[in-house]
Structure 1
């Protein structure tokens, strides 16, 4: 069972998310929290594998809570819940190390699938949603773009091919087909790229590529 904590200040939203997730059969909502402070306490007490957390809440908001949770050595996988008008906050959460985000009107099947994806160690980088929002809200100032390009210069040509494909939202299997590599080889390249660049996950890698204006 995948242990999930749901964080939202609206009880109706929390109840709806619980019903949807537990209908999957292999997901257990082990707790709920109404704000960021409650979320931090609940994570310490319940040890969920995945946290679904709203961005805007009274008291401690989701972004502040995300920074604290993701600084923990045993940090859970964090998915932010948002609406389009809050995307700039989600972009910052991704920079902190969140593995992705969901819109609150995400279809039930996709919601459960997202939890399975991040619990399995993959970041949520959907070409139809995540890539578009990262591209829209990335702060591409000249200094940031130059810093990103300098950081990416440490990669080999093949590693740069991989990270560019990753930034387009491709899975390891899709990258392998495009670059004529085995999926295991792509996985090794991705791990090496993240380690070389000091990044926590695929989403942070994609943001770096977008910051460098290379996507």
Structure 2
């Protein structure tokens, strides 16, 4: 019929805007978390995240404003968990600083084992750590707690006094988090908060304290 408009069907397999899968914010963050862990934050673009989800980059921006926001959201649960780590008592509080140190490191290991991929992104296990300013501040806070405990322990003669507390703190964090993350990623984990049965994170804490810090033992 003259003037009639014939509807043309798209080629088979074509994804039109109306049928493009809709992805929520949580799906975006889940895809970004996996990619940050696999490739590193710096090597992951918004286009990579969109490709992983099977959507356009424009569709991605309906849920997030950019990569910096995505990274902060991905590592947010890590910051929250680290803020709940055991507090360090003031000097002279009566408790052994080595005991407090062991408790803090054990809690750090358990936190990393409970959410290993996000912790790997946050701490930089296998790559550079998250460059987010809030993440850097949080890491510095944890290191500061360890430095205070190590200094007190050395002053009380409970640990070696020839070790720089700031260097030792970084070594302890790297060893404990790296072991917990590596074990949890490489094995099937249980419920959140559980340390994998095959993981030796708590025993790693004991080994570090016994072999590295305590003189004459």
Q: TM-score range by the shorter chain?
A: under 0.3
Structure with bigger strand share is: 1
Answer with 1 or 2: which has the greater Rg: 2
Q: Normalized against structure 2, the TM-score is what?
A: 0.26
RCO comparison, higher one (Cα < 8 Å, 6+): 2
